[in-house]
Structure 1
Amino acid sequence: MHLPIRLIVLVVAFISHERGGIAQYVQPYTSIVVPVNKHTDAAKPLYSVQIMTAYVNSQYLKANFVIDIDAPLIWHDCILQWNIYPGSCPSNTLCTSPVSCEEDYCTDVRTTYSYDNPSCSPVTNSSTLPGWGYCTCPVNVVCPVTGACVEALLNYDDFTVNTSNGRNVFSGLYGPSPNAACAPSSSFESFPANVTGVMAFSSSPYALPAYLYQPLRKILALCLPSNLSAPGVLFFGTGPYYLLPHSDVDLRSLLSYTPLLKQPDSFGYFIGVKAIVIKEISINIPEDTTTKLSTTEPYTTLRTDIYNRVVYTFSIAAIGIPRSKPVAPFSLCFRTFGIDNGVGLKVPDIDFSLPDGKKWTISPANSMKQITKDFGCLAILDGGASSEHAIVIGTFQFEDNFLVFDLENSTFGFSSSLLGEQTSCANFNFTLTDLS
């Protein structure tokens, strides 16, 4: 042990002894935290997180990644270089180190995840880098906007995020080093402006949660904003979690929990739904159906047989509200007379009845999509008669709900709308606080 390090250790030990024993150091943070932005300039609404990707010229480069809780792998706009040194990477471009096709890791990734997508062709080890004696490791990824298959090259990446105690954002940084993949810039033409990657938050061994270690617990907390003016928030860690103006209310106190379910050949998240209840009328869901949670589908979709019963029941329950001509992709619309976001409409709540008697209430703020100031529509879509999943709960129903994916205990926590608590997902305090 070098002398300076030895002296530091002795001093720390002496101080601890004087206080009655050697105390274990406890990190001041309980989670990492990143802002969540909503985008409406692509083919469908999407949500992104901003991540620091590289330290260049005494500052961090930042990139925006689509949040995908189903994707098995992180991928983004970057360039592979086998020998990265100062000045070798083009200005304002992220360069990363390649994974060789001869490495076991390349084989592991290819054999433990796959996309069931007809547009994906088998990958081959054909490319190499100038001056590098090994072939690269191509993998297939799928665009969350278009569904098109993209060939990307596996890399060694470094990301940086801020830490938090659930109430403040600290100046201290946390640096996970996941394996990701570099895709051509053209792959992101369908993405929202300034969004150049996909951040996988699934249960895959190659998604970001797999690379986040102690003192963090494997708990993803997500709060999607409902508008473009202010960001929502994503935590990864044990909590607590707070939103203004109720800085003394831990959001965990608002949560109900239901088991997360596994599905074959998927790293996504699923829950059990026994029935959909509208104004005490229960629409039972067959036991063999699956309910998927999605951050890339904008609206809840129901298999046609379930959809027809839900729309009929909802229309009967809202019989006194004047109808409006439907507008695609919705089939049931109402006149709202300028009511903001449809919240003031006297439409009924929609309850997802869950195992153990729990229910997830979808309030009018999350069921009615305001189209113009004069009319809004029931934001539930027909998924088709043979849809893979009977129910897919989409992001419109997530907005301003606090959601917790506890990967350690395989449970899903949900709050229902925070608007009823006089707060929203846009109310986290992102002001930077010095750890010292």
Structure 2
Amino acid sequence: MLVPMATSLKLFIFSSFLSLMITSSIAQTSFRPKALALPITKDVTSSLPQYITQIKQRTPLVPVKLTLDLGGGYLWVNCENRQYVSSTFKPARCGSSQCSLFGLTGCSGDKICGRSPSNTVTGVSSYGDIHSDVVSVNSTDGTTPTKVVSVPNFLFICGSKVVQNGLAKGVTGMAGLGRTRVSLPSQFSSAFSFHRKFAICLTANSGADGVMFFGDGPYNLNQDVSKVLTYTPLITNPVSTAPSAFLGEPSVEYFIGVKSVKVSEKNVPLNTTLLSINKNGVGGTKISTVNPYTVMETTIYKAVADAFVKSLGAPTVSPVAPFGTCFATKDISFSRIGPGVPAIDLVLQNGVEWPIIGANSMVQFDDVICLGFVDAGSNPKASQVGFVNGGSHPVTSITIGAHQLENNLLKFDLAASRLGFRSLFLEHDNCQNFRFTSST
């Protein structure tokens, strides 16, 4: 599509202004990182697993723990009841360029613009003022952390205790990585002028750190995994699927084009219209770090589960919530890549396949092991899926959950609008193999 020259000029000016605004007061140093690295820890102390990262924020700097939200539009932190103290804490005034980066906003009596910080774990939202403050993180050469770097005017929303409730112990906000101009990837890439790319690698081990990279590779674990990725296009849902959004806003979450599902290399019979996104934003497949397990629309779940049980050939046992298809552990073999069960493959729009091996498809409870997918029709955590008008039909037909992402490297190339992915089990590697060493 051709863009009029005037529109191109406006976009260029706005992009240049955004970069200038965020970088205007970066520490006076000639060092400019090519990438950043943050740890990701699996927290299992809550009712359902959450994936936690940590930044340093404010003046003086303090560690801030955040629940990772791949599809979240921004950073929000609880500022209520004097929990937030900083000498560099600045409000974003109504009508300012900072406010415009958030799209549509409200305006408080103090003339501070705001939006609704959302807890996507519980589905709770409220109203919060937009502010900026110092954020400090580690840069990286792709192998280990290097120098500490800071962004002095990092934009975020002030949340409250009401929104914070339901997050893991010690966590006071959420780190949004979604497709907005104020998400962590966008603000970091603007601040340091590196490529609009980021990667996540979730560990399955709660006692070790996974890793998140901002910027381009290398992404070295035992090797540079960025060289062995398979790519598929990212899709934009024209209707927001967030707990709180303005009418007409598109979704900022990451959707991919799943065209069919295979079990043991055989196509599962599905209503394929559910795999497309309709004009109301219903359908399709998105990726989530907030949903701990993959959630499927009822007919899709039943078709996949039936094909899986038939292919495995083992008797089912009483299920363990929230799962509906379980087996006796003694009936399943195990290997280096996890339970020896039928392979599940997501066939994507450009013909490539996303393999879900046993370590990612199964969840073990001592003597019972379950297919790690959840039927949306019987899912008690409706707020984690998104339902139309509070009803029983999920907005998104398939939500690929965090358990299915563990020990996979996912690279989000925002400039090219594509996703790269690779199971590290197939590379004899692991997400916890990035060598974190404190440089602070």
TM beyond 0.5:
yes
Q: How far off is 1:280 after superposition?
A: 2.1
Write the deviation string for residues 307-337 of structure 1: whole angstroms up to 9, x where unpaired.
1110100010111x34321111111101113
Residues 276-291 of structure 1: matches in 2 within 5 Å? 276-283=261-268, 284=270, 285-286=272-273, 288=276, 289-291=283-285
SS in structure 1 of the partner of residue 324 of structure 2: coil
Percent pairwise identity: 32
Distance in 1 of aligned mates of 2:146 and 2:49: 30
Alignment partner of 1:377 is 2:376: no
Return the match for 1:230 from 208, 214, 224: 208
Aligned to 2:113: 137
Return the match for 2:320 from 320, 327, 330: 327
Aligned to 2:384: none
The higher radius of gyration belongs to 1
Aligned positions, number: 374
Aligned to 2:147: 171
Return the match for 1:266 from 251, 260, 283: 251
Give the 3 Å change call, closer, same or farther, for CA 339–227 of structure 1 in structure 2. farther
Alignment partner of 1:161 is 2:140: no
The answer on whether the counterparts of 1:335 and 1:375 sit within 8 Å (CA) in structure 2 is yes
Give the 3 Å change call, closer, same or farther, for CA 255–142 of structure 1 in structure 2. same
Aligned to 1:41: 45
Distance in 1 of aligned mates of 2:39 and 2:98: 31
Which stretch has the larger CA shift, 356-365 or 166-175?
A: 166-175
The answer on whether the counterparts of 2:59 and 2:86 sit within 8 Å (CA) in structure 1 is no
SS in structure 2 of the partner of residue 260 of structure 1: strand
Write the deviation string for residues 170-220 of structure 1: whole angstroms up to 9, x where unpaired.
034242632211122453232101111111111111212221234421111
Which stretch has the larger CA shift, 151-160 or 403-412?
A: 151-160
Distance in 2 of aligned mates of 1:176 and 1:267: 25
Alignment partner of 1:148 is 2:131: no
Q: How far off is 1:109 after superposition?
A: 3.1
1:47 aligned partner, one-letter code: Y
1:238 aligned partner, one-letter code: D
Give the 3 Å change call, closer, same or farther, for CA 185–421 of structure 1 in structure 2. same
Write the deviation string for residues 67-118 of structure 1: whole angstroms up to 9, x where unpaired.
11222221102369xxxxxxxxx79844622223354544663517xxxxxx
Alignment partner of 1:251 is 2:244: no
Alignment partner of 1:316 is 2:306: no
TM-score normalised by the chain length of structure 1: 0.79
SS in structure 2 of the partner of residue 274 of structure 1: strand
Give the 3 Å change call, closer, same or farther, for CA 79–147 of structure 1 in structure 2. closer
Q: How far off is 1:386 after superposition?
A: 2.2
Return the match for 2:406 from 399, 405, 422: 399
1:254 aligned partner, one-letter code: V
Q: How far off is 1:168 after superposition?
A: 1.5
Q: Which runs of 5+ in 2 are unaligned?
A: 1-28, 239-249, 277-282, 378-391
Aligned to 2:344: 350
Return the match for 2:356 from 354, 362, 371: 362
Return the match for 1:184 from 160, 166, 179: 160
Q: How far off is 1:425 after superposition?
A: 0.8
Q: How far off is 1:339 after superposition?
A: 7.3
Give 4+ residue runs of structure 1 displaced > 4 Å after superposition.
25-29, 338-344
Aligned to 2:425: 419
Write the deviation string for residues 10-47 of structure 1: whole angstroms up to 9, x where unpaired.
xxxxxxxxxxxxxxx99684310010111122342111
Distance in 2 of aligned mates of 1:91 and 1:79: 6
Aligned to 1:125: 108
2:329 aligned partner, one-letter code: T
Alignment partner of 1:77 is 2:71: no
Distance in 2 of aligned mates of 1:94 and 1:62: 13
Distance in 2 of aligned mates of 1:317 and 1:51: 45
Q: How far off is 1:356 after superposition?
A: 2.6
The answer on whether the counterparts of 2:337 and 2:425 sit within 8 Å (CA) in structure 1 is no
2:179 aligned partner, one-letter code: S
Distance in 2 of aligned mates of 1:69 and 1:378: 23
Give the 3 Å change call, closer, same or farther, for CA 407–344 of structure 1 in structure 2. closer
SS in structure 1 of the partner of residue 58 of structure 2: strand
Distance in 2 of aligned mates of 1:34 and 1:344: 27
Q: Which runs of 5+ in 1 are unaligned?
A: 1-24, 81-89, 113-122, 129-134
